[in-house]
A = this chain, B = another copy of it.
Amino acid sequence: MRTWEQNIRRVVPYVPGEQPKDTSVIKLNTNENPYPPSPKVAAALRNLDAEQLRLYPDPAASELVDAIAETYGVVREQVFVGVGSDDVLAMAFLTCFQSERPILFPDITYSFYDVWADLFRIPYEVQPLDDAFLIRPEDYKKPNGGIIFPNPNAPTGLLMPLCQIEEIVHANPDVIVIVDEAYIDFGGVSALPLLKKYDNLLIAQTSSKSRSLAGLRIGFLFGNPKLIGYINDCKYSFNSYTMNRPAIALGAEAVRDQEYFRQCTQKIIKTREWAKLKLRELGFLCGDSASNFVFVSHPEHEAGELFAALKEAGIYVRHFRKPERICNYLRITIGTKEEMDALFAFLTQYMSGDRSN
């Protein structure tokens, strides 16, 4: 080892799902939206002027911030935007979780939380989900340095009712509680109305899933203006210009087109509900996901084997090897009806024994 390596921060990074270059793959592994973004995004893309790329973007990304504020009925000072929800959550961790006390999050949840905590040297303590994979609000009423959980939770897809979220936020006035609503648009109830009552609440959302813009990298936070101001100070201490010109212009169009957004999310919800029935018919245990994915296990087929067989057939799903409690589960993104048909055709054949030995 070279001496300079002593001063290097060593971390074990988050490993994102595979992004295969083979476009013939049926990609149900990273919770992308199977439908294209709003036609207004395509129109804005055609109107982008390459010449203008020589100029810095608006560092405040006002056009995008204003579109979000207007769509969600908040003031612009309540909105923070960044390069996907990972960026806004990383910035929220860095800004808000400065206590000596551990932050709390579920043991089974988005696997980036412990990575950020490790990166920023934030102490943390995981709270086990119950046997039905549900978050227990009472676990979040002990002394802590902050709280974060997704709603619906990932990768379970299970929704927590708003009254329980309020219970957690209300019990923790001295710390920031972050509700990560990456998947809220697929049938969940947002905690946004609670912002009026609680100034210790932060809500994260993203354009990657429900607005079909994973490739453009847009995430946002809602919070009280003072808290958003502190996060902006950290952001401006990290990178003045995080949102590039295409992201600002196209993102604003996507956020404004609420009608298209509703149509798309409704289609996905409909496919999901049908997929749940089909999966149960095939013998899968399938929870009541409120997101754009389902989290399933099969009593007779080991998840790792199913994952490999699906991959070999050109169908990518996600298999988390840890924690151990979920190593026999698969997370399957809801694709188009046609993609799900292909999935079920394969599974039916596989389970009929043609391939299982």
**Distance in angstroms between the alpha carbons of A8 and B93 in the assembled complex:** 10
| Residues of chain B contacted by A50 (CB below 8 angstroms) | 36-37, 41-42, 45, 250
A348 in the interface, Cβ–Cβ < 8 Å?
Answer: no
**Distance in angstroms between the alpha carbons of A51 and B214 in the assembled complex:** 11
| Residues of chain B contacted by A54 (CB below 8 angstroms) | 32-37, 212-215
The answer to whether B234 and A9 have CB atoms under 8 Å apart is yes
Segment of A82-90, A280-288, A301-309 engaged in the interface with chain B: A82-90
Q: For residue A224, which residue of chain B has the nearest CB?
A: B2
Segment of A69-77, A186-194, A236-244, A311-319 engaged in the interface with chain B: A236-244
The answer to whether A244 and B217 have CB atoms under 8 Å apart is yes
The answer to whether B245 and A215 have CB atoms under 8 Å apart is yes
Q: Interface residues of A, CB < 8 Å — how many?
A: 89
| Residues of chain B contacted by A246 (CB below 8 angstroms) | 216, 244, 246-247
Segment of A113-121, A125-133, A160-168, A321-329 engaged in the interface with chain B: A113-121
A16 in the interface, Cβ–Cβ < 8 Å?
Answer: yes
Quick one: which of B36, B87, B173, B213 contacts A3, CB cutoff 8 A?
B173
- CB-contacts of A13-61 with B (<8 A): 13-16, 19, 21, 27, 30, 32-37, 41-42, 45, 48, 50-59
8 closest A-B pairs by beta carbon, nearest first, are A13-B236, A42-B50, A215-B245, A54-B212, A3-B174, A16-B240, A53-B215, A36-B51
